Structure 1
Amino acid sequence: MIDRDAISGRALPRGIVPSLNTPFTADGTLDTEAYGRLIDYVIAAGCGGVLLPAVAGEIGSLSRAERERLIEAASARNAGRIPMIVGVSAAAWPESLALARHARAAGADAVLWQPEPGLSENALEKGLAALGEAGPGAVVLQDLDWRGGGLGVEIIAALFARVPAFAGIKVETVPAGPKYSAIQAATGGRLHVSGGWAVSQMMDALARGVDAFMPTGMEPIYCEIYRRHEAGRPEEARALFEAILPILAFANQHIEVSIRFFKALRRAAGLFATDACRPPVAALDAVQDRECRRLVDWALEIERNLSQA
């Protein structure tokens, strides 16, 4: 049986916890050396932890063996420097359990699970408990609903009360802000609450006291926004955040545009050798590509200015 007190003693990370892109070589295979560079980069930026691989990492195109290789490569490069959350969502339940076991063996701190839509409360409870036993212990539930409100707050609170392994929730619903606050109130602030896709409302999330934010890319910028906010300089945090709003307006059109943009940014920053994506991620058209290149330059310029400040 999972001991909630033991899990809380190994707290989930606070601050910026990026969801990593997956780098591919020109021939479409995994580039684990580039993955290692990315791990070093996010640690140097000041990230509180890391999430891999998840939606931004194109998990739908990765085989189980490839996902295990990424877990191993990240764990080896990280060497325990920051907490590591491993995504174990899969079409087949036995694969999720196997990935959770692999995450535990690799020294991960928690697993992230996005349940299939429509699961009953009983099925969610059993799934969370099983992943807690198979994995490192702590489970983060990915409450992802691109167009709606996701899981009910009452269900989330009931699951938290009954499943000790249920340690955190990543809220990616519409709208996200009020839901962060409702979950915090319903669980007495004991459930670790993070945001992700609603990064364009990051200042709203910080004002509500979320524990972590899990965006993709621009880690030095996000970490500086978070540092300024935590240091009691909210207006400076907001000014930097507003400088990246045009980037977010472009990247958050669609998850596939986001993946394309941030892979282009990783390549331009010298982290990835290519910006290759696997199907079903669609290519940008000519107009999008021009805007993508312009905004990649913008992001790099902001990062350069921060490094020189």
Structure 2
Amino acid sequence: MTWKGVFPALTTKFTEDDTLDLSTFDLNLEAQLSAGVDGIILGGSLGEASTLSNEEKDVLVKHAVEKIAGKIPVVLNIAEASTREAVRIAESAADLGASGLMLLPPMRYKADERETVAYFKAIAKSTALPIMIYNNPVDYKIEVTVDMFAELLELDNIQAVKESTRDISNVTRLRNRFGDRISILCGVDTLAMEELVMGADGWVAGLVCAFPRETVAVYRLVKAGRLDEARAIYRWFMPLLELDLHPKLVQYIKLAEAHTEIGTEHVRLPRLPLVGQERERVETIIRKGLDTRPDLPEYLKL
């Protein structure tokens, strides 16, 4: 598997009666594939992972694998409190045809460095699937340091990092220490172009769920060295990308999906749809983005 390019962290689509909405999932997936994404990630933070049952995760993986039919990788996020359950989910994902895994540190317990490394290694040793470590100390309170990565990369199937420390210089630290042994994918929408310019291999994106073509265009233009064109799109995109930084990023991005007609606003409790001034503020940002949406170059040929 190649950890490179744009990997949408897909939202999980629900019906009005709170069941999986696979038809809307397919609508969004087709938009992603047409835009040229390089893989998808299921069951991440944006995918409301903490509200999904294991059975629902299995349904999503199986359905996505069948729909994609090998065109791009299908990656499942694992965010569990216990090592045993994380291993079980990894085994199930492999059985269902997933291409890889993204791993968060242990949930609901602030593990120390030794415990965090042991957790990741136990999962990696239980599967042959390629693995990307999700390093997000801002939201999940556990940082995977460069020294910890030195231990983790002893295992061949630990291959990539979703870099969400908010420290752009971490791209350089990782590259200086490990060269191309580890693939680096930016995990913060508002830092994506900066990290790509500094050598990141890809982008685990959020607003791509509503704006797939613009996201892939920025990535491909940067990698083609067409920075002025990429910068112009990125500047237009920034107010929308900032919706990814809020605790209500799920509601914000699902509202954007509804406005671009490739999703709905339906969220799972305890989340609630946006109302009042907050809704008006977010819709103003989305409408302005749509009204000024840029014409894109033929980026798919890059």
TM-score (norm 1): 0.87
Matches within 5 A, 1:256-295: 256=248, 258-272=249-263, 274-295=264-285
What letter is aligned with 1:260? Q
What letter is aligned with 2:258? R
Within the candidate set 131, 141, 147, 1:139 is matched to 131
What letter is aligned with 1:292? V
Contact 2:117 2:148 in 1 (8 A): no
Within the candidate set 134, 144, 147, 1:154 is matched to 147
Within the candidate set 155, 170, 195, 1:163 is matched to 155
Structure 2 portions without partners, runs of 5+? none
Within the candidate set 224, 229, 254, 1:231 is matched to 224
Contact 2:135 2:162 in 1 (8 A): yes
The Cα of 1:214 is off from its aligned counterpart by 0.6
Contact 1:109 1:136 in 2 (8 A): no
Instruction: Verify: 1:221 aligned to 2:214, yes or no.
Output: yes
Instruction: Verify: 1:107 aligned to 2:97, yes or no.
Output: yes
What letter is aligned with 1:144? N
Matches within 5 A, 1:163-242: 163-173=155-165, 175-196=166-187, 198-216=188-206, 217=209, 218-242=211-235
Measure the CA separation in 1 of the matches of 2:146 and 2:182.
Answer: 12
Give deviations 1:16-57, integer Å, cap 9, x for gaps: 111000011011111112112222211111111111111100
Instruction: Verify: 1:82 aligned to 2:72, yes or no.
Output: yes
Contact 2:83 2:122 in 1 (8 A): no
Give deviations 1:69-125, integer Å, cap 9, x for gaps: 111111111111101211122233332222211211222221011012643444344
Instruction: Verify: 1:248 aligned to 2:238, yes or no.
Output: no
Instruction: Verify: 1:119 aligned to 2:114, yes or no.
Output: no
Measure the CA separation in 1 of the matches of 2:58 and 2:111.
Answer: 26
Structure 1 portions without partners, runs of 5+? 1-9
The Cα of 1:165 is off from its aligned counterpart by 2.1
Q: What's the secondary structure of 1:187's corresponding residue?
A: helix
Measure the CA separation in 1 of the matches of 2:272 and 2:91.
Answer: 33
Measure the CA separation in 1 of the matches of 2:117 and 2:241.
Answer: 35
Contact 2:186 2:196 in 1 (8 A): no
- Matching residue of 2:2: 11
Q: How many residues align?
A: 293
Contact 1:64 1:95 in 2 (8 A): no
Find runs of 4+ consecutive structure 1 residues off by over 4 angstroms.
301-304
Q: Relative to structure 1, is the Cα distance of residues 302 and 72 closer, same or farther in structure 2, using a 3 angstrom cutoff?
A: farther
Within the candidate set 48, 58, 63, 2:48 is matched to 58
- Matching residue of 1:24: 14
Measure the CA separation in 1 of the matches of 2:103 and 2:226.
Answer: 35
Contact 1:22 1:30 in 2 (8 A): yes
TM-score (norm 2): 0.89
Q: What's the secondary structure of 2:76's corresponding residue?
A: strand
Q: What's the secondary structure of 2:133's corresponding residue?
A: strand
Q: What's the secondary structure of 1:85's corresponding residue?
A: strand
Contact 2:61 2:74 in 1 (8 A): no
Contact 2:111 2:142 in 1 (8 A): no
Q: What's the secondary structure of 2:176's corresponding residue?
A: helix
Q: What's the secondary structure of 2:144's corresponding residue?
A: coil
Q: Relative to structure 1, is the Cα distance of residues 303 and 51 closer, same or farther in structure 2, using a 3 angstrom cutoff?
A: farther
